[in-house]
Amino acid sequence: MRINKLFINRKNRDAEFKRLKAMGHNVRRSTSRNQLLHPMYVEDYPRKIRDEEKKFGNTIYETYFSVLYKIEESIY
């Protein structure tokens, strides 16, 4: 399974990047701007809000993120 993670906080992304590198994964860091997506796909979004909004009547299914920090597994 390929690694593909999104973070709000750059420090959280960098800590996870170091952890994955130490485990031997071939990963790279990048950023993504102006994204509109559900917060359940963001690793460090507040868990309480993320879990509550999976239910019926979801009000944050299209949340705007000006910057998201990514970790992706490199194929090469």
Q: What is the mean pLDDT of residues 51-63?
A: 68
pLDDT of residue 38: 84
pLDDT of residue 62: 81
Please state the pTM of the whole predicted model.
0.81
* Residue 25 lies in domain: 4-73
3-state helix, strand, coil in the chain (%, to 5): 30, 35, 35
How many domains in the chain? 1
**Cβ atoms of residues 50 and 39 within 8 Å:** yes
